[in-house]
Structure 1
């Protein structure tokens, strides 16, 4: 930028930024946004019938299966030997056919133990299995 300090009445260089055009553009964009925002919803208005209230469906807690660093298997904080793990799952599946499992395995546990646990879960006929990890 150049500054002219002489007062000769010539072409003076302005030292400030003219924000008026910027404000004009921002106001136009704001008006366009305000006008188009209600049009973005694809709501179809329907007159719904009135019914009696019903109870929400009962949400069941998932059963947690954990494998610690030493390879011990737990079902809801109860240690289960790996040999009887599949029978325990079959018993729980018979009691609750919609059983869901959350599998926690320690980072240091051998892959073979986790694979055995997962195959036992599959053989027990349990289809709802979540493998829990930590997101980075």
Structure 2
């Protein structure tokens, strides 16, 4: 890095060379842009919101459970069902007062498309008490 004085009087130059500073700042900016995480695709599910103004209904002891096995088979409370029967069960449970909780537990090996289809059926049924069970199986060590 050469420095040259403005005059021939032998005095050192008093201005700071900002070129290395700008180079470092540009490298840091590029590294910051590269390390920003890539946004992933997400399925939008309207989950119930906690409202402070409304009285929460008493929790019904009946809890229904939907399980999807690795082959894509759907079970409702441990009995196999198809999409039409699942839709009927969901409509019946939504009509109950208070609405029972619905536990959703897909297997980690189940195809994403099949899980998405079942979630779409649940969403169309307007279920307001939905819980995801077994999320710890997706945790990577």
**TM-score normalized with structure 2 length:** 0.50
Q: Which runs of 4+ in 1 moved over 4 A?
A: none
Counterpart in the other structure of 1:106? 107
1:68-79 to structure 2, matched below 5 A, reads 68-79=69-80
Total equivalences in the alignment: 80
Alignment pair present for 1:62 and 2:59: no
* Equivalence for 1:134: 136
Paired with 1:81 and 1:122, the residues of 2 have a C-alpha distance of 16
CA RMSD of aligned residues (A): 2.0
Give a deviation string over 1:31-52, Cα, whole Å, max 9, x none: xxxxxxxxxxxxxxxxxxxxxx
Deviations 1:65-111 (CA, angstroms, capped at 9, x unpaired): 10001111111101111233112210222234422111111111111
Instruction: Provide closer, same or farther for how the CA distance between residues 117 and 61 of structure 1 changes in structure 2, counting only shifts above 3 A.
Output: same
Three-state SS of the structure 2 residue aligned to 1:134 is helix
In terms of mean alpha carbon deviation, does 92-101 or 77-86 score higher?
Answer: 92-101
User: 2: CA distance between counterparts of 1:58 and 1:131?
Assistant: 17
Task: Give distance in 1, aligned partners of 2:129 and 2:88.
Answer: 17
Structure ranking higher on relative contact order (CA contacts 8 Å, 6+ apart): 2
Matches within 5 A, 1:8-87: 59-87=60-88
Counterpart secondary structure, 1:108: coil
In the alignment, is the contact (CA less than 8 A) between 2:60 and 2:98 conserved in 1? Answer: no
Residue aligned with 2:67, SS: strand
Q: Give TM-score scaled by structure 1 length.
A: 0.52
Structure 1 58/97 Cα, relative in aligned 2: closer, same or farther at 3 Å? closer
Q: What SS does structure 2 have at the residue aligned with 1:60? A: coil
Q: Answer with 1 or 2: which has the greater Rg.
A: 1
Partner of 2:10: none
The gaps in structure 1 that reach 5 residues or longer are 1-56
Task: Give the C-alpha shift of residue 114 in structure 1.
Answer: 0.7
